Structures are given as structure tokens and as C-alpha cells.
Amino acid sequence: MTAKRAEIWIANLGDPPQRHWVLIVSLDARNKSDRTDSVLIIPLGRKGAEGPTTMLLQPGESGLPRPSWLKGHFITTLAKSDLIEYQQRKLSASRMREVSAMIRPAFDPDAPMLP
């Protein structure tokens, strides 16, 4: 199965690898391409704090069993082979625009801060 933008997956992260929920943020042209073996992801975590590069997702939105924090400052590439299981949940287009805006302050000091 090909991962798509806005989908939440279980993936192997770290060394040694551990299972984590991740949000796919790369464009679908990259995700579907046979010429690249990686996707861009943001990990989700149980703990977090309000900030310009974090976002709290509630279970009703994410489909996950508990509130989870997206941590945009940890955006990274992940080998497609490290994606384990699609979680049958996709964030809305409007929420993905918010995610994109949240990622930007992690690398652009001139980015406008979200309210």
C-alpha cells in the first residue's frame, strides 16, 4: 500500500526501531514515486506542550486511542519500508494547511506565528 499525504501510520522509528504513530506530510507525487524510497513524516507523541511547532490532535480527529501531539520540529524523512500499518484515518485538507503552517517556524525564523 502506498502512503498518502495526511494519513496516520504506525512506523518504525529510531535505533533500535520502536513503533510510533506518524503523520505523512510529503506530497503524493513523492509518496507514489518509484524514484524515491522515503516519505516526509511528523511523529506523534503522548506528551507535548503548546508551542509554534506543536499541535494537539484529539482522538475523534486522529482516530487514535488518546490525545496525541504532532511535533513539527521533528519533521524527518523515513524509508517507505519502515511504514508498518495504515491507521485508517486521514486529516482534513484544512487541518493539513494548519500542519503545513505549523512546520514552517521549525526552519523559517520569519514565519508568521499561528494564533
The pair phi, psi for residue 73, each rounded to 5°, is -75, -10
* Three-class DSSP category at 78: strand
Distance (Å, rounded) from C-alpha 84 to C-alpha 21? 10
pTM: 0.91
- Residue ranges per domain, the chain? 7-106
The pair phi, psi for residue 85, each rounded to 5°, is -150, 130
Do 66 and 46 touch, CB atoms closer than 8 A? yes
pLDDT in tens, the chain (115 residues): 799 999 999 999 988 989 999 999 999 999 999 999 999 999 999 998 888 889 999 999 999 999 999 999 999 999 999 999 999 889 999 999 999 999 988 888 777 765 5
Q: What is the CATH number of domain 7-106?
A: 2.30.30.110
Distance (Å, rounded) from C-alpha 111 to C-alpha 103? 10
